[in-house]
């Protein structure tokens, strides 16, 4: 089922847009902006921007936000060319790393490297500025300046994004009153007959691969936002771009090469274009997660730092590492110190082995 959130804004024009869009599928709403428009659409529908939000947080409690990725498309209603290249190349992506939490790196299987952003230039922001970036993304004037721009909100697993922003930034994005439709790539994939390998919900990497694109460094917010926007467009246009195929092939992958153009090259060209554009006006270009300065990055850092927590931990391994980070950036601000592990003496080891022999019942 499409995600239908109640409209809580006060603007009657947006309420009308919301009511109209809630009667249409996610796929058809996107297709309206991508060349196949609704015949009797409300007047201000074409003022909408499509905004994709992605967030990353540290895997451990209390799950502080580490990154924000925002991909945008300001659709012009043009009909798509091969692989929708003329539409995909209009995607713009911003990537923000939250300075207070940027040192917290995830290590789960498939976790991304936040240093590597393929669709532009990363900026560093403090938590307060991150909140402002979020507000200004969803509350801004429309192109003609006559109203706040109506937003089509796009995400992979949208509900999770709303929940996290509410919990960590105290910000209810839907209550800002500009989001007139919530679109989820998992819904778009289902509507296009694209299934995950393990069930109806598909992961972002699998969806990217379905369209013959090799995902690069996923699980970092900027790249995920870019790939989410790309796959949302390709999923909603799958039949337009690749034809209504015979049933036996309908659920399979579309061709990678159409008219001698490979989709992988289309995506790489989009990355190149975005890399050459000026970065967003907010935030700092450089930030060192080791010493907190804003004129270099961690790999160029020679500052003397010291962690009081690790130095006094009584744990030999941590004591050795106490000059690699500052007290404020120690992960043991969030989690209990591991048990002290001084070099065990021979007789202690023998005792340990004896104790570990299981007792018979
Ligand atoms: Zn430094
Ligand atoms: Zn420490």
> Relative to the alpha carbon of 305, which ligand is closest?
1
Q: How remote is the CA of residue 54 from the centroid of ligand 1, in Å?
A: 28
Residues across the chain: 361
C-alpha dihedral over 153, 223, 269, 88, to 10 degrees? Answer: -10
Q: Give the Å distances, CA to CA, from 124 to 71, 115, 277, 289.
A: 17, 11, 17, 10
> Relative to the alpha carbon of 311, which ligand is closest?
2
> Relative to the alpha carbon of 313, which ligand is closest?
2
- Name the percent of the chain lying above pLDDT 70: 90
The 3-state DSSP class for residue 224 equals helix
pLDDT value of residue 353: 37
CA nearest 26: which of 152, 193, 199? 152
Low-confidence residues in the chain, pLDDT < 50: 1, 248, 347-361
Q: How remote is the CA of residue 335 from the centroid of ligand 2, in Å?
A: 11
pLDDT value of residue 6: 77
> Relative to the alpha carbon of 326, which ligand is closest?
2
Q: What pLDDT, in 10s, does the model give residues 241-262?
A: 998 666 545 668 899 999 999 9
Q: How remote is the CA of residue 330 from the centroid of ligand 1, in Å?
A: 15
CA nearest 181: which of 1, 360, 3? 3
DSSP track, 166-190: HHHH---GGGGS-EEEEEEHHHHHH
Domain 12-275, what architecture? Answer: 2-Layer Sandwich (3.30)
Q: How remote is the CA of residue 114 from the centroid of ligand 1, in Å?
A: 17
Q: What pLDDT, in 10s, does the model give residues 113-167?
A: 999 999 999 999 999 999 999 999 999 999 889 999 999 999 999 999 999 999 9
Q: Give the Å distances, CA to CA, from 2 to 7, 144, 187, 235, 279.
A: 15, 30, 6, 15, 34
> Relative to the alpha carbon of 319, which ligand is closest?
2
* pTM metric for this prediction: 0.91
> Relative to the alpha carbon of 309, which ligand is closest?
2
Count helices and strands (H / E) in the chain. Answer: 14, 8
- Specify the residue for token string 């069930």: 199
Cα 70 to Cα 66: distance, rounded to the nearest angstrom: 14
Domain residue ranges of the chain, discontinuous segments joined by +: 12-275, 304-356
SS3 percent helix, strand, coil of the chain, rounded to 5, is: 40, 15, 50
Q: Give the Å distances, CA to CA, from 299 to 19, 291, 296, 302, 318.
A: 51, 11, 8, 9, 21
Q: How remote is the CA of residue 15 from the centroid of ligand 1, in Å?
A: 49
317 within 8 A of 325, measured Cβ to Cβ: no
CA nearest 156: which of 73, 223, 242, 240? 223
pLDDT value of residue 76: 87
pLDDT value of residue 4: 59
Tokens of 237: 């246009």
């Amino acid at each position: 089922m499409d995600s239908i959130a109640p409209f809580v804004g006060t603007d009657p024009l947006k309420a009308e847009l919301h009511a109209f869009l809630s009667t249409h599928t996610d796929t058809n709403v996107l297709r309206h902006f991508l060349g196949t428009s609704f015949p009797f659409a409300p007047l201000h529908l074409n003022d909408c921007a499509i905004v994709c939000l992605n967030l990353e947080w540290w895997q451990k409690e209390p799950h502080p936000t580490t990154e924000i990725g925002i991909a945008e498309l300001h659709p012009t209603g043009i009909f798509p060319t091969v692989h929708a290249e003329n539409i995909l190349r209009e995607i713009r992506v911003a990537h923000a790393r939250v300075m207070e939490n940027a040192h917290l790196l995830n290590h789960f299987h498939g976790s991304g490297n936040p240093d590597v952003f393929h669709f532009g230039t990363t900026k560093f922001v403090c938590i307060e500025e991150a909140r402002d970036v979020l507000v200004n993304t969803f509350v801004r004037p429309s192109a003609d300046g006559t109203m706040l721009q109506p937003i089509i909100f796009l995400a992979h697993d949208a509900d999770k994004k709303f929940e996290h922003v509410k919990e960590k930034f105290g910000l209810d994005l839907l209550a800002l009153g500009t989001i007139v439709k919530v679109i989820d790539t998992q819904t778009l994939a289902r509507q296009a007959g694209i299934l995950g390998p393990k069930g109806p919900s598909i992961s972002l990497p699998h969806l990217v691969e379905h369209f013959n694109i090799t995902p690069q460094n996923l699980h970092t917010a900027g790249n995920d936002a870019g790939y989410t926007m790309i796959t949302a467009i390709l999923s909603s246009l799958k039949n337009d771009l690749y034809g209504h195929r015979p049933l036996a092939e309908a659920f399979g992958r579309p061709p990678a090469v159409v008219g001698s153009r490979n989709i992988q090259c289309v995506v790489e060209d989009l990355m190149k274009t975005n890399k050459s554009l000026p970065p967003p006006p907010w935030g700092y270009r450089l930030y060192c997660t080791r010493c907190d300065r804003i004129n270099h990055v961690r790999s160029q850092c020679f500052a003397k730092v010291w962690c009081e927590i690790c130095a006094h931990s009584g744990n030999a391994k941590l004591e050795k590492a106490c000059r690699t980070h500052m007290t404020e950036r120690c992960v043991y601000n969030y989690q209990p110190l591991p048990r002290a592990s001084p070099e065990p003496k021979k007789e202690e080891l023998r005792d340990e082995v004896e104790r570990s022999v299981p007792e018979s019942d």
